[in-house]
Amino acid sequence: MPVKYREIKRCGGLAVSEIALGCEGFIGRTREEFKKMLDRAMELGINFIDMYTPNPEFRDNLGAAMAGRRDKLVLQGHICAVWEDGQYLRTRDIKKAKEAFEDQLKRLGTDYLDIGMIHYVDGERDFQEVFQGEIIRYCKELKAEGKIRAIGLSSHNPVIARKAVESGLIDVLMFSVNAAYDMQPASEDCNDLFDPAAYQNGFVGMNPDRKALYELCDRENVAIDVMKVFGGGDMLNAELSPFGVAFNEYQCIEYCLTRPGVVSVMAGCHSENEIEKAVSYYEASREEKDYSMILSRMDKFQFRGNCMYCGHCAPCSVGINVAEVNKYLNLCLAQKEVPETVADHYRLLAHHAGECIACGRCEKNCPFGVEIIQKMKKAAEVFGH
Ligand code: SF4
Ligand code: SF4
């Protein structure tokens, strides 16, 4: 089953694979091992890689592995991640940031990155420093010179990420997404996301800041690529998962790919087997990918009535993609208007809400008790068909 692609709309519709590569699994590999992993990923159709690490050996190895096929890869490099005294360091020192960027191009053997990602902005003061200072100016210069094609920002904080998107300067957002983090309020300290205490009172539904962020990105065509899809592995382990139930890899990937705005999931693969496992998502059955039952069985979950875009209600008697219709409807209701881009996406659907015959088949399948017939009526009213 081939890998599928989604577009980074604010980067000329650049097509990126839905399953993409994080870089951590490549660190510490020999040059030969590195190339074999990259070869296998590319054979399977993966064309997108995040390079948060400033590790010079990683950069050299990637440069060697991709020699002669730079144009087949979409490279996401980080600005403000530097290598000092043999270690990674996040900095806002413009001189160090510039040197690290040039070092990155040189070691990779390329004269541009597709995405220049401003590295890790979670705090308000840091946000002000980046967006009112030299870092954002530098990114704009790099974009104007064609040394980066798009400006990105990586964050774990939905409030800060939202401000960045609202600035209009960000084309891509790298954000930590999984079902557990999505329940957590915004914090300037990303360690809160990993803290078991944050989950001890159970879950009370999706955090509104996160929901609003994803919808905003979708509306503004800011592409989200996902980090922490498996919550650092915790989501896959019943003992460690905040849900007390292990998700499988397919459920984690499916959850992310069904959030509005998401184009890619950066899977942290450490071997060719793990790359193959991630891509086998496309061969997994609907049941294997279905995360909705885990969420809907949570005692303290308050999702009733809210569409989670899980697609569990399919098939519709007349072929309406209920999850997509609900997504576009929610984007409009949040905005209190019908943005042109959303109307356009809705128009392109094969079947529209106005075709609903109110048979109720979908409602029997929805684990979250969404009143789908009402939603279809509302969508038909809002979009006019
Ligand atoms: S209506 Fe229900 S089953 Fe369908 S996508 Fe939404 S939450 Fe999932
Ligand atoms: S009620 Fe409407 S949306 Fe649901 S299955 Fe029937 S036709 Fe499709």
Q: Is the CB of 323 under 6 A from ligand 1?
A: yes
Q: How many domains does the chain have?
A: 2
pLDDT of residue 195: 63
pLDDT of residue 19: 98
**Is the domain of 16 the same as that of 72?**
yes
Q: How many Å apart are CA 252 and CA 273, to the nearest integer?
A: 18
204: three-class secondary structure by DSSP: coil
Is residue 303 in a domain?
A: no
- Residue pair 362/314 in contact (Cβ under 8 Å)? The answer is yes
Q: Which residue has the tokens 């065509």?
A: 221
CATH number at residue 127: 3.20.20.100
Residue 261: how many CA atoms within 13 Å on its side-chain side? 27
**Is the domain of 239 the same as that of 373?**
no
Q: Is the CB of 315 under 6 A from ligand 2?
A: no
For 384, residues 6+ apart whose C-beta sits below 8 A from its C-beta are none
Give the CA radius of gyration of the chain: 21
pLDDT of residue 311: 80
Is residue 315 in a domain?
A: no
Is residue 52 in a domain?
A: yes
Is residue 337 in a domain?
A: yes
Nearest CA-CA partner of 375 in 326, 337, 303? 326
Q: How many Å apart are CA 251 and CA 29, to the nearest integer?
A: 29
- Distance (angstroms) between ligand 2 centre and the Cα of 375 equals 10
Given the CA of residue 358, which atom of ligand 2 is nearest to it? Answer: 1
Minimal-distance CA residue to ligand 2 atom 7: 356
Q: Is the CB of 374 under 6 A from ligand 2?
A: no
For the chain, which ranges sit under pLDDT 50? none
Given the CA of residue 319, which atom of ligand 2 is nearest to it? Answer: 8
Q: Is the CB of 291 under 6 A from ligand 1?
A: no
Task: Using DSSP bridges, classify how beta strands 81-84 and 87-90 pair: parallel, antiparallel or unpaired.
Answer: antiparallel
Last-in-domain residue among 234, 266, 290: 290
For 258, residues 6+ apart whose C-beta sits below 8 A from its C-beta are 308, 309, 310, 311, 323
Is residue 204 in a domain?
A: yes
Is residue 300 in a domain?
A: no
**Is the domain of 98 the same as that of 24?**
yes
Task: Using DSSP bridges, classify how beta strands 148-155 and 19-21 pair: parallel, antiparallel or unpaired.
Answer: unpaired
**Is the domain of 249 the same as that of 359?**
no
Q: Is the CB of 325 under 6 A from ligand 2?
A: no
**Is the domain of 352 the same as that of 252?**
no
- Distance (angstroms) between ligand 2 centre and the Cα of 289 equals 22
- Distance (angstroms) between ligand 1 centre and the Cα of 369 equals 8
Is residue 14 in a domain?
A: yes
- Distance (angstroms) between ligand 1 centre and the Cα of 94 equals 47
- Distance (angstroms) between ligand 1 centre and the Cα of 374 equals 13
pLDDT of residue 141: 98
pLDDT of residue 197: 62
**Is the domain of 279 the same as that of 332?**
no
Q: Which domain holds residue 368?
A: 322-383
**Is the domain of 233 the same as that of 111?**
yes
Q: Is the CB of 329 under 6 A from ligand 1?
A: no
Nearest CA-CA partner of 136 in 117, 149, 123? 117
In sign, the C-alpha dihedral spanning 173, 178, 180, 182 is: positive
Tell me the β-bridge partners of 79. 118
**Is the domain of 204 the same as that of 276?**
yes
**Is the domain of 360 the same as that of 274?**
no
**Is the domain of 340 the same as that of 221?**
no
Is residue 234 in a domain?
A: yes
Minimal-distance CA residue to ligand 2 atom 2: 356
